[in-house]
Structure 1
């Protein structure tokens, strides 16, 4: 037991250092540079060096102040990491929201993703499936919704009910790529939070706004890649193991194609609908 606790402590410490302390320390450094230089002289290296040397001399004369400063810097890095994590989660909820703030105004515009999808379908001479057309404010939200729509169309079940139970049936080798993709997604969410947090030093030092923009764009790109990968893996797992779940629950499917009545029976069992 002691060995398990020790190993867990090592992993937590390593995660804290790489995900919180290091990026938080970098943010504290940038914030310090922003306070010293400001908008008036954003690239005055001579002034920055002079201030750094003066601070170093102060710490040599008063070692106690150096200890306090280091402690405050570490605490500031920890607080920054906590705030960045919170901002990342807020951004995630914003990107995955269901409703537009402008109602249907944006969806009706000729530049919306829905309008472009309809135009592409007309050019191809095909009738688009209404459930597969963009319906959420962001691409990320639609990619997540598309998993639910496709699973519902193919198997007549609710993916939100199926997935937690099906996950318990997966072996470790099958879970690993999904867990790895989710970890990369979580890192992208955290990176988005750091990008937003760099807006704070940007208030007094405009180059920080460039840093913020770069980090936010990078995080958005990673979010698109990881969400697409994670959605594809989850949908694939449902394709491969849904029959196993239905059999384990006691509502096995009959033929090669899942009938609507079979899908509804599984939905009722998972949703604890009870007898009709």
Structure 2
């Protein structure tokens, strides 16, 4: 098994090895444990070590086959975890409430709590900045567009690809790093989902899955906030340079130029 892992690490990229293959092998081991112990013997280490001992005493060919199948399963699970993560991300970023406006009007909604906080602080909230989407993450993404539009009269979605082209490698690096960490957090929700599924057979996996999901959610919020702040900061700093590159200076003129609105 060790030789197989060493050879695999030479053939694949380091990131894929650490972010996909190794977590996948841990999940395969968790699944095998779930099938072996079940709920009735969930914490029976003697039973588990006995089964591992039987496996290690098997013929070399059987060990190689088991290792190869485990590595293949780990790769498939890693790919599937990324797919589940993308589905979770789409759910987080959705624009519509399943309950229509019922949830936004409830006393527990983020919008209602924001309005009450503004009332206590004796300030008039800006309607566009109040929560409008089902999730906090969705609203944080929306706020980049809203704030840039309010300040410069341009669309952040339009100017960002052009601003990115003007950035130096040093300026791009923290933005790319934050985006990569967010992507890893999203994929982590996929791993957490698989552990929750394993919990159907082995209850400790439910605890593991819950902890993984909570960690993924917290990391996603933190890294998305960092990424959104950096994107907005880059637009603040480089929008004037973009205007000069386009031959226009006013925000509305930049927006019209990028929308190809014509004269």
| Structure 2 counterpart of 1:267, from 255, 259, 263 | 255
The superposition leaves residues 226-260 of structure 1 with CA deviations (integer Å, 9 ceiling, x where unpaired) of: 111111111111111101101111212xxxxxxxx
Bigger CA drift: 180-189 or 73-82?
180-189
For residues 184 and 163 of structure 2, the distance between their equivalents in structure 1, rounded to whole angstroms, comes to: 25
For residues 259 and 38 of structure 2, the distance between their equivalents in structure 1, rounded to whole angstroms, comes to: 57
Alignment partner of 1:93 is 2:90: yes
Match of 2:192 in 1: 195
For residues 10 and 131 of structure 1, the distance between their equivalents in structure 2, rounded to whole angstroms, comes to: 52
Question: CA 1:272 to 1:11, structure 2 compared with 1: closer, same or farther past 3 Å?
Answer: farther
Contact 2:148 2:232 in 1 (8 A): yes
For residues 11 and 165 of structure 1, the distance between their equivalents in structure 2, rounded to whole angstroms, comes to: 37
Matches within 5 A, 1:165-180: 165-180=162-177
Report the aligned-residue RMSD: 1.4
| Structure 1 counterpart of 2:232, from 218, 230, 235 | 235
Cα deviation for residue 11 of structure 1 reads 10
For residues 51 and 171 of structure 1, the distance between their equivalents in structure 2, rounded to whole angstroms, comes to: 56
Matches within 5 A, 1:12-161: 13-57=13-57, 59=58, 62-161=59-158
Question: CA 1:120 to 1:182, structure 2 compared with 1: closer, same or farther past 3 Å?
Answer: same
For residues 64 and 197 of structure 1, the distance between their equivalents in structure 2, rounded to whole angstroms, comes to: 29
For residues 225 and 10 of structure 1, the distance between their equivalents in structure 2, rounded to whole angstroms, comes to: 33
Bigger CA drift: 9-18 or 183-192?
9-18
For residues 124 and 218 of structure 1, the distance between their equivalents in structure 2, rounded to whole angstroms, comes to: 32
Cα deviation for residue 12 of structure 1 reads 5.5
Cα deviation for residue 15 of structure 1 reads 1.3
The superposition leaves residues 118-140 of structure 1 with CA deviations (integer Å, 9 ceiling, x where unpaired) of: 00111111110000000011110
Q: How many residues align?
A: 255
Bigger CA drift: 233-242 or 190-199?
190-199
Instruction: Name the TM-score, length of structure 1 as normaliser.
Output: 0.89
Contact 2:92 2:135 in 1 (8 A): yes
Cα deviation for residue 23 of structure 1 reads 0.4
Partner SS, residue 107 of structure 1: coil
Partner SS, residue 109 of structure 1: coil
Structure 1 unaligned spans of 5+: 1-8, 253-261
Instruction: Name the TM-score, length of structure 2 as normaliser.
Output: 0.94
| Structure 1 counterpart of 2:241, from 218, 241, 244 | 244
Partner SS, residue 228 of structure 1: helix
Match of 1:255 in 2: none
